[in-house]
Amino acid sequence: MSKNEEVTPLDFIRQTIANDVAAGKNQGRVVTRFPPEPNGFLHIGHAKSICLNFGVAGEYPGGQCNLRFDDTNPLKEEDQYIQSIRTDVKWLGFDWQEHLYYASGYFEQLYQFAERLIQDGHAFICELNVEQMREYRGTLTEAGRASPWRDRPMAESLELFRRMRAGAFPEGRYTLRAKIDMASPNINMRDPVIYRILHAHHHQTDDQWCIYPTYDYAHCISDALEEITHSLCTLEFEDHRPLYDWILDRLEGVVSCHPQQIEFSRLVLEYTVVSKRKLNALVRSGVVDGWDDPRMPTISGLRRRGYTPAAIREFCRRIGISKTPNNVELSLLESCIRDDLEQHAPRAMAVLDPLKVVITTIAPDHCEELSASNHPQNPELGSRTLYWTQEIIIERDDFAENPPKQFKRLVPGGEVRLRHAYVIRCDEIIKDPNSGAIIELRCSHDPSTLHANPADRKVKGVIHWLPLHRSQPAEIRCYETLFNTANPDEAWQGDDFTRLINPNSLQILSHCRIEEGLQNLPAGTIYQFERQGYFCVDSRYSRTDHPVFNRTVGLRDTWGKQQNKSS
RNA sequence: UGGGCCGUCGCCAAGCGGUAAGGCCCCGGAUUUUGAUUCCGGUAUCCCCAGGUUCGAAUCCUGGCGGCCCAGCCA
C-alpha cells in the first residue's frame, strides 16, 4: 500500500471479527443484527449502530445483518414505529434482505426454553411484588436476600408457569426468575426476572400471550436462534453479558449457538439529546413540530433537514468505534454533509433579504440572457439561463454604507461583481425620507465585464443577485442548534427544559426570492444557494405557490468568523 | 466507598515493547467571477499521575487520581 493512500485502521470490534474469521470460528461466518425496540424513531445514535452492524456484515462475503425488532414489551411499542424504522434503515442505504425478524416471533420457543430452565432447576416462580423484590435485591454494596419462593419445588413452579401463560393470574401476581446468585456483586445476576405477566395487546401477536419475556432473557436466545456470530451493543449492556452467557450456557444442547456479545460506547453529540423520553418531551411540548422537525437528531429529522444517507454514513465512519466515553463536536457532522453536498448539489442563487438595485445604464425593457454553470467544478451538472434586467435585487448585507475593514462587497462609489454577470458601481443610495432606511441603490454597469475582468483595475468582491421580476418568492428556514448548551443532557433537569432551548433555533425568512424554476421542485431537492449554504425543499410545508426551503448547513464562513472575532 | 468499563492534541481516533497515523476544529499562505471549493504549510518531545521492569514503555507491572454505567416485573 502506498504511503499517501488513506488507510482506515480497523476498530477493535472489526479486529476481533477479523481474527475470528481468520481462525475459522463460526465456520468463518459473520452474522450481526440491528435490534431496535419499536418504541420510537431512530436517531443519529442508532445510525452508528446500524452502520456498524450492517457495515461489518457487508465487509465479508456471505456476511449477513438481520433487522430484528426487540418487541418484548407491548406496553411501550407500536406498529407505526416498525414502519418508520424500516424506512429509515433502508433510507440509510442498508438491506436486511429476507432477514427481518421479531423477538415476538420466538415467543413459543422462548416459552419452551423457560419450562426447560424450570425443569432443570434454573428458574422459579416468585411471588414477591415490585417493592418487595427491590428490598430483597439488596444494594450496590450489600448482597441481596433469597426470595422465600426460591426453593419452591420444580413441579410447582412449572405448574404455576403454565397457569400464568393460560391467563389465570393478574399482572404482578407472579414472575419467573432465573435462579443465579443473590449475593452477586453484579446486580443483574441477583435472580433476575425473565418473565412477567402483562395482560396487554401486542402489536405482532395480538392477544396470544399474557406473559412476556424480559430483554435479558429474550435477547440472547433470539441472537442464538438466528445464529448471530457477533452481538454488538452499547456499553451499558456490559454488566448484562454475564447474564447473556449464563442463560445460553444453561440452554446448551437445546440452543446450539452461543453468540459473542461485544460492547462499544454510544454516540454523544454536542447540542443534542437522544433519549426517547427527552425527544418525546420536545415533541409533546410543541417546541419542535414533530419527530421529523429539521432540528431533531432523528433520522427523519436529518432527512428533512437535507442530510444525505452518504453523509450520515461518512459521519459514522469518521467517529469510529471504541469504548471511550465520547462527546462528538457538531462541526464533524457538518463537515460530512458539506463534503457530500459540495460535490453533488447544483448551484443557484437566492436572496434572503432583498435590497433593490436599479441598473441605470440599461433600458427598463432590457432583458439579456446570461448563461450560468450549475457547478463550478462539475460541468456535467449543466447550466441555466439568468436574466439581466434593469431592476435587480441583492442581499441587503452585501451593501454597506460604512463598511468595516476588509469589506469586499458593494460600498458607495465602489465596484463589485455580480455573480455570472457584470461588474456594477454604486452611484447613489436612495433612502426612505422618514426612517432613513436604505430602500434602493442606483448602479451603473460596465458592459465589458461579462466574461472578463477589467484590465485597468481590480474588483475584489463577488455577490449574488436576482432579476427582480424574473425571480420567485420563497420562504427560507434557517436553523441553529435546538439547545443553547453543548451538553443539554447534563443540563436537563426534571422536565423544565425550556430554558435550554435556543430562541434562534428556527428563523423563518418569508421575503426571500429564488431563481425561476426553483419553485416547483420535489420535496428533498437540494441546492447550494451560492455564498450562503445548502438548502433543501421542505417535505411538509413547501408548495408550488409557496416554496419552503430548509437550510441544511451554511457554507464555511471565514468572513463571518472574522467579524465575530473583531466585534 | 460492591461490580463493570474507560482515560493518547480543543473534539473524535490509530497505536498491540522499538522511539506519537489520520479526520474535525484552529492558525498561516496560494489559487478562485461562491470571503465556498481546491491546494500547500503549521499545530502532542509527549500519551491522567507516580514509581518500577527493560538497551528501549503510550504500550508490561505496581500504586494512585479522574470519568462513565448498574439497585425496572424498560430495552
Whose C1' is closest to the CA of A237: which nucleotide? B69
At A6, the pLDDT band (50, 70, 90 cuts) reads low
Please say if the pLDDT value at position A523 is more than 90. yes
Do residues A479 and A297 touch, judged by C-beta distance below 8 A?
A: no
What's the Å distance between residue A301 CA and nucleotide B58 C1'?
A: 41
Whose C1' is closest to the CA of A217: which nucleotide? B75
Please say if the pLDDT value at position A223 is more than 70. yes
Whose C1' is closest to the CA of A242: which nucleotide? B4
What's the Å distance between residue A186 CA and nucleotide B15 C1'?
A: 33
What's the Å distance between residue A528 CA and nucleotide B34 C1'?
A: 10
* Residue A114 three-state SS: helix
Question: Rounded to whole angstroms, how far apart are CA atoms A92 and A310?
Answer: 8
At A564, the pLDDT band (50, 70, 90 cuts) reads confident
Closest residue by Cα to the C1' atom of nucleotide B75? A215
Q: CATH classification of A12-264 is 3.40.50.620, yes or no?
A: yes
Please say if the pLDDT value at position A330 is more than 50. yes
pLDDT value at residue A493: 84
Question: Rounded to whole angstroms, how far apart are CA atoms A372 and A162?
Answer: 76
Please say if the pLDDT value at position A280 is more than 80. yes
What's the Å distance between residue A69 CA and nucleotide B24 C1'?
A: 34
Question: What pLDDT digit, counting tens, does each position of A150-174 carry?
Answer: 999 999 999 999 999 999 999 999 9
Question: What pLDDT digit, counting tens, does each position of A18-67 carry?
Answer: 999 999 999 999 999 999 999 999 999 999 999 999 999 999 999 999 99
Residues of chain A within CATH 1.10.1160.10 domain(s) are: 269-346+475-566
Whose C1' is closest to the CA of A464: which nucleotide? B34
Residues of chain A within CATH 2.40.240.10 domain(s) are: 350-463
Protein-proximal positions, strand B, CB < 7 A: 1-8, 10-16, 21-27, 33-38, 67-75
pLDDT value at residue A365: 96
Question: Rounded to whole angstroms, how far apart are CA atoms A448 and A454?
Answer: 7
What's the Å distance between residue A45 CA and nucleotide B57 C1'?
A: 36
Grid coordinates in use for A437? 432606511
pLDDT value at residue A2: 35
Question: Rounded to whole angstroms, how far apart are CA atoms A315 and A319?
Answer: 6
Please say if the pLDDT value at position A87 is more than 70. yes
Output the CATH code of domain A350-463.
2.40.240.10
At A566, the pLDDT band (50, 70, 90 cuts) reads confident
Do residues A65 and A31 touch, judged by C-beta distance below 8 A?
A: yes
Closest residue by Cα to the C1' atom of nucleotide B4? A239
Question: Rounded to whole angstroms, how far apart are CA atoms A88 and A45?
Answer: 13
Closest residue by Cα to the C1' atom of nucleotide B6? A324
Q: What is the end-to-end Cα distance of chain A in Å, rounded?
A: 49
What's the Å distance between residue A9 CA and nucleotide B59 C1'?
A: 17
Whose C1' is closest to the CA of A216: which nucleotide? B75
At A91, the pLDDT band (50, 70, 90 cuts) reads very high
Among all residues of A, which ones are annotated catalytic? 37, 266, 276
At A7, the pLDDT band (50, 70, 90 cuts) reads low
pLDDT value at residue A74: 98
Nearest-CA neighbor of A273 among A554, A507, A495, A558? A495
What percent of chain A clears pLDDT 70, i.e. is strictly above it?
99
Please say if the pLDDT value at position A239 is more than 70. yes
Closest residue by Cα to the C1' atom of nucleotide B14? A9
Query: Average pLDDT for residues A510-529, to the nearest whole number?
Result: 97
What's the Å distance between residue A171 CA and nucleotide B57 C1'?
A: 59
Please say if the pLDDT value at position A567 is more than 80. no
Query: Average pLDDT for residues A181-202, to the nearest whole number?
Result: 98
pLDDT value at residue A227: 98
Closest residue by Cα to the C1' atom of nucleotide B71? A139
pLDDT value at residue A495: 75
Average pLDDT along chain A? 96
pLDDT value at residue A536: 98
Residues of chain A within CATH 3.40.50.620 domain(s) are: 12-264
Chain position carrying cell 401476581 = A173
- What topology does CATH give the domain A269-346+475-566? Glutamyl-tRNA Synthetase; domain 2 (1.10.1160)
pLDDT value at residue A5: 43
Question: Rounded to whole angstroms, how far apart are CA atoms A134 and A162?
Answer: 25
Grid coordinates in use for A361? 445604464
Count Cβ atoms within 10 A of the Cβ of residue A85 and give its class: 0-12 exposed, 13-18 middle, 19 or more buried.
Answer: buried
Residue A208 CA: distances (Å) to CA of A104, A221, A421? 11, 20, 71
Query: Average pLDDT for residues A527-551, to the nearest whole number?
Result: 98
Residue A55: Cβ within 10 Å count: 18
Helices (H), A226-323: 241-250, 276-285, 299-305, 309-319
Please say if the pLDDT value at position A531 is more than 50. yes
Query: Average pLDDT for residues A463-492, to the nearest whole number?
Result: 97
Whose C1' is closest to the CA of A134: which nucleotide? B71
pLDDT value at residue A494: 78
What's the Å distance between residue A77 CA and nucleotide B6 C1'?
A: 33
